[in-house]
Amino acid sequence: MALLPRVRRALLAAVVAAAVALPLAGAARPSDVPAPAPPAVAPLRADGGPDALAAALEGRYAAERAALREAARTAEEHGARLRAASLRAMAGADRRFLEFDGRDGGRSAEVVGDLARAERIAVLVPGADTGLDSYARFRAGAAALQRTLRQEFGARSAVVAWLGYRTPATGSAASLTPGRADRAAPRLRSFVEELARIRPGARITLLGHSYGSVVCARAAAGLPVAALVLYGSPGTGSDRAADLRTDAAVWTGRASGDWIADVPHLRVPLPAGGELGFGADPVEPGFGARRFAAGDGGHSDYLVPGSISLRNLARIVDGREPERA
């Protein structure tokens, strides 16, 4: 038992060292793989019913596939073979992207399921180390959640894998501060508000993993979502769930094998402004969130097929009560 305080002290020392180094280190440079500008697309409209929306979505998906293929050719010409291979897979005929921009490391939003008729919509926001080169892992999690919703509950559902920001690298200075989350939050807000506009009446759940939970917390105030799920979270930058200023049910979960439990929950002011760390632990009772059982997996295992964490996340998306921790 004496080991745990030593681990925490070591982590705290690392955090303080990062605070000193942060002004010098700065954020990691974005990928230098070039990509063409994305095509102009017409806004999606809610009028006309599901059939009209489905037709408009097919047009959007086709335009984004073409953009992905062009970005893959550009990456190949640049010699970025890993990026090109990933983009070619993303451009498959069965893939449905609402958004894609390959510049500055890449941004995307992919739909798994029938968005035009979905009564349950889950928006997944990833954490550190998620990008176009490692996109397949993120998409696999979205597909696993969609399969569980359909097979377990027969839900008319869609899962959106939202990679709408440049995620930090694990352990980097950027991963210890809310700067990227603050910049991502307006984009996420706009995206969720558009989903609510084109699918009025659908139950929308916002799910943030790891650093993605910081993004979701920063975007949460007033969003038209039924539930906000923070899992594998390092904190939100708020002391209480009430401080998120959302009417959504706030759920939180952490697997027993998740290393993020050992990250110090503190906020340290930085000399140049801003702060380091994310404050209160969302799974602690004092935070005020509802806690679901997340099993014994590791930090990247919450969406593993057949896991208790995946089943409980699906239950929350469907509006059901999950197994409590």
Q: What does 240-307 look like in DSSP terms, one character per residue?
A: SGGGG---SEEEEE--TT-GGGGS----EE-TTSSEES--S-TTSGGG--EEB--TT--TT-TT-TT-
Q: Which pLDDT does position 2 carry in this prediction? A: 40
Determine the pLDDT at residue 32: 83
Q: What are phi and psi of 101, to 5 degrees?
A: -145, 115
Which pLDDT score is estimated for 31?
Answer: 66
What's the N-to-C CA distance of the chain in angstroms?
23
pLDDT of the residue at 13: 46
Nearest Cα to Cα of residue 49 among 159, 185, 201, 173: 201
Chain centroid to CA 259: how far? 19
Q: Which residue has the tokens 């640049």?
A: 78
Return the pLDDT at 278.
97
| pLDDT value, residue 186 | 98
pLDDT per position in the chain (325 positions), as tens?
343 444 444 445 444 444 444 443 333 344 689 999 998 999 999 888 999 999 999 999 999 999 999 999 999 999 999 999 999 999 999 999 999 999 999 999 999 999 999 999 999 999 999 999 999 999 999 999 999 999 999 989 999 999 999 999 999 999 999 999 999 999 999 999 999 999 999 999 999 999 999 999 999 999 999 999 999 999 999 999 999 999 999 999 999 999 999 999 999 998 887 889 999 999 999 999 999 999 999 999 999 999 999 999 999 999 999 999 9
pTM: 0.92
Phi and psi of 120, rounded to 5°? -130, 125
The answer to whether 157 and 317 have CB atoms below 8 angstroms apart is yes
Q: What pLDDT score was predicted for residue 19? A: 42
CA atoms in the 13 A half-sphere facing the CB of 37: 3
pLDDT recorded at residue 4:
44
